[in-house]
Structure 1
């Protein structure tokens, strides 16, 4: 029988590390860039790597009884729960993969018969986490270390998750508010007032829709691409690199993130309002390019677009789209998509070639 230990206890016994990295791990099951996950177990999500390991019980290191992670999120939690409940996890394998993908990448195929149940589980985890503990990335504001504070979340959720997995109605009071908001967003994405344009050669999806939406609704149309430009009415815009290019994606090759300095400078040259375009660094989990106001905290940037202010620009939407597409088409000349970029290679790809 396996058991959870706080991350600080990693070296006190043979320990499996999930959705994290740590020196001294008996086995690493993580999709983080450069993680020491054995090649046969690599997967898009850390849950996927755990499930692959459960199908290969003789994997070296899997015999360790202790399991840990250095943070709490849906992918990491479900991966640890699966190691502690292998039979139930394999019975619900497809559903758990959907939960991990929705939780981490905010993507799902709404035609999948289990997509709705996956959304309910994700919303239950989100709601209980915020109500009983603190929101994602909220530990520093409470002067706590995430690797220490998150242990309390694991200890609460681990014995309770199976009940909601097998009987979602038992968690309805918690999951229904966010679930209803996301389903409204999904309906908005399917409404004629929303258009979706894809530029597969640069990995970009452009979504034009009247109002900002929850990520779980917005990103459903972006599966297979790694950048999203959202164009809302009132000339409000956000560009975002998806989390799919922060981790080592197994299922398909990707292009490296490019620094957004030149694109931001171009938009600022066009902008005639008093606001300035700002951007996050490429090593952020989900960097945003947006018209600036008060600086957003990490908690606000991780929150849904409909939960933060998005300011009106003077630039018409067609021109914003044109500038973004032009920037990436030029930046990716001579760059081929592939798997397993290192951060050093990503930074190098964003540097102009020396004459």
Structure 2
């Protein structure tokens, strides 16, 4: 039975396959933490779960004729589109899988086949989304919420994406500017001006580059790590918990997501620039610790580092890295990585640390 797209508010009365979201009135295919996705279909991305279900001809799919998601992003869109276009989706399965990884985790692996096309398609969606609608995480600045505001995005991209997928070069004027920025960042990441240091025992990847880079270039080499410390010239730093610790990863165990706000207090005791270190809460989709002169909007926080100002700290780079590493080593002392941390466990872990 062919699927049709169902706007999320209608799922209250119409059962559906629920992609990259959660609702009890349907089959959930989502990597959201604690989502009741069938164990046999679990993957790192929600789109990957949909593609696996199609590949396995999962019997429960036959029970539904609608598919929905409560927000628009690359992972959710690819999953919804795949159910509407199963034959074409399976013909381009690896490209779609990589689109979901690039879109959600910002991890671009140029050594993988189909990565260039996946990047081009992601950048086409990014450009069209900003031009014709509102940018990712921009719904908070609209009168509508994301559940409602995302519906026109789905209608547009579900209609247009298939022709772009099969003829991506014809749309190069749309995707080329961002792809060029990403590729320039990738070149810088492998140049002598970039330094990369791994601390696998705490899941930290430290990157030192002269200036901020596009996320797809910055996070590309960090696959397998869940925290990224970016160090730029002039004592400028940002520490981020990747989205990999907001979801349930299937490919590897993780440590629980650490609360960065106590670390901000430690840094503020040392900071003499007159600015304040701030950090987002542990349940934010991508908590960011940074030196703040004025608050960032959600669009700025989730936009590329090249699109926001990173302030200079009074703390020297080697000392800053050591402070971060020591904080994480103390936080994770005696904790073993595992799969599927419940949010309650994450909160208890941080409650313990906040009392130390």
The TM-score, its normalising length taken from structure 1, stands at: 0.97
Q: In the superposition, relative to structure 1, how do residues 98 and 58 fare at CA in structure 2: closer, same or farther (>3 Å)? A: closer
Aligned to 1:251: 251
Asked if structure 1 preserves the Cα contact closer than 8 Å seen for 2:14 and 2:25, the reply is no
Q: CA deviation at 1:56?
A: 2.2
Structure 1 runs, 4 residues or longer, greater than 6 Å off: none
Aligned to 2:123: 123
Asked if structure 2 preserves the Cα contact closer than 8 Å seen for 1:53 and 1:62, the reply is no
Q: CA deviation at 1:61?
A: 4.3
Aligned to 2:167: 167
| Higher relative helix content | 2
Question: 1:22-41 to 2 correspondence within 5 Å?
Answer: 22-25=23-26, 27-41=27-41
Alignment pair present for 1:313 and 2:317: no
* 1:149-186 deviation digits (Å, cap 9, x = unpaired): 11100111112111111111122111111111111111
RMSD over aligned CA atoms reads: 1.3
Give the whole-Å Cα distance in 1 for the aligned partners of 2:206 and 2:6: 43
Give the whole-Å Cα distance in 1 for the aligned partners of 2:332 and 2:59: 39
Give the whole-Å Cα distance in 1 for the aligned partners of 2:62 and 2:230: 43
Aligned to 1:15: 16
Asked if structure 2 preserves the Cα contact closer than 8 Å seen for 1:163 and 1:170, the reply is no
Aligned to 2:3: 2
Q: What number of residue pairs does the alignment pair up?
A: 354
Alignment pair present for 1:113 and 2:113: yes
Unaligned stretches of 5+ in structure 2? none
**Secondary structure at 2:138's aligned position in 1?**
coil
Asked if structure 2 preserves the Cα contact closer than 8 Å seen for 1:2 and 1:67, the reply is yes
Question: 1:134-213 to 2 correspondence within 5 Å?
Answer: 134-213=134-213
Question: 1:276-355 to 2 correspondence within 5 Å?
Answer: 276-352=276-352
Asked if structure 2 preserves the Cα contact closer than 8 Å seen for 1:252 and 1:339, the reply is yes
Q: CA deviation at 1:62?
A: 4.3
Aligned to 2:239: 239
**Secondary structure at 1:335's aligned position in 2?**
coil
The TM-score, its normalising length taken from structure 2, stands at: 0.97
**Secondary structure at 1:16's aligned position in 2?**
strand
